């Protein structure tokens, strides 16, 4: 045969024990890599890498048709809400209109989302008092709606500074969920629920010849 003359490369004899040892070495190396990740000095319990300083959320029952709104005012008077989604360091990341806009489009088809949630992030520290209000924009069911409001401080570790439920029962109903105060370093130094109407702030500005700039969220004189 031609192979007798060395014209074809000869295969090495199959060694099952060697193959098993090689595979075992691969597994050990992979597990060692995972262990290094687990003990990394950057991995600390409660550590959250985020550009936001605070996150404020409001949610209400899944699939509920009513439209609830979240309003947040900073110490400078800037207010983030559905008409002014960016105001100072405040950003309304999600405006949920109940059954009106909770869907995604997949392959040209609308798929409804059951989640009812609005989110405001605070991306910088301004010392002073912040006010978090909720409002019942459209009470389509005519029934009271319970909303959950949570305020979380994200840096340097995650910390819940407020978590409670409030009930809204008619269109236009507005309630103060929480007011919290920060010092110059961003430390929370006071939390309370004294009522304060932010909708009345808008009405008062209008009566006094001012309006809220839709781009900045701050008061400006209105030109009639």
- Per-residue pLDDT at 9: 47
**Residue of 213, 165, 191 lying closest to 68 (CA atoms):** 165
Contact at 8 Å (CB) between 178 and 165?
Answer: no
For 12-28, the DSSP string reads: PPP-HHHHHHHHHHHHH
pLDDT in tens, 69-80: 999 999 999 999
Interior angle at CA 113, CA 60 and CA 53, nearest 5: 60
- Specify the higher pLDDT residue, 124 or 46: 124
Return the CATH fold of 54-221.
Lipoxygenase-1 (2.60.60)
Give pLDDT tens digits for 72-118. 999 999 999 998 999 999 999 988 876 555 556 677 776 667 788 99
pTM: 0.68
Q: Is pLDDT of 184 > 50?
A: yes
Burial class (CB in 10 A: 0-12, 13-18, 19+), 93: middle
- Cα–Cα distance between 114 and 96 in angstroms, integer? 11
**Pick from 77, 56, 70, 71: nearest CA to 98:** 70
Q: Could you state, in order of their start, the residue ranges of all structural domains in the chain?
A: 54-221
């Amino acid at each position: 045969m031609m192979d007798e003359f060395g014209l074809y490369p000869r295969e090495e004899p199959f060694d099952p024990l060697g193959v098993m040892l090689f595979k075992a070495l691969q597994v050990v190396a992979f597990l060692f890599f995972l262990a290094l990740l687990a003990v990394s000095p950057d991995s600390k319990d409660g550590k959250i890498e985020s550009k936001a300083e605070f996150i404020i959320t409001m949610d209400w029952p899944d699939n509920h048709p009513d439209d609830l709104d979240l309003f947040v005012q900073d110490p400078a008077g800037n207010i983030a809400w559905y008409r002014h989604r960016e105001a100072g360091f405040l950003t309304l990341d999600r405006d949920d209109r109940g059954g009106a806009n909770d869907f995604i489009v997949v392959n040209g088809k609308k798929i409804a989302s059951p989640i009812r949630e609005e989110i405001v992030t605070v991306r910088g520290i301004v010392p002073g008092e912040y006010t978090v209000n909720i409002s019942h924009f459209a009470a389509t069911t005519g029934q009271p709606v319970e909303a959950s409001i949570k305020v979380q401080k994200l840096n340097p570790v995650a910390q819940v500074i407020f978590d409670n439920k409030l009930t809204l029962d008619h269109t236009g109903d507005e309630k103060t969920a929480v007011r919290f105060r920060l010092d110059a370093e961003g430390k929370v130094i006071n939390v309370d629920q004294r009522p304060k109407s932010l909708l009345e702030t808008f009405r008062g500005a209008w009566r006094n010849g001012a309006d809220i700039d839709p781009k900045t969220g701050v008061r400006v004189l209105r030109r009639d």
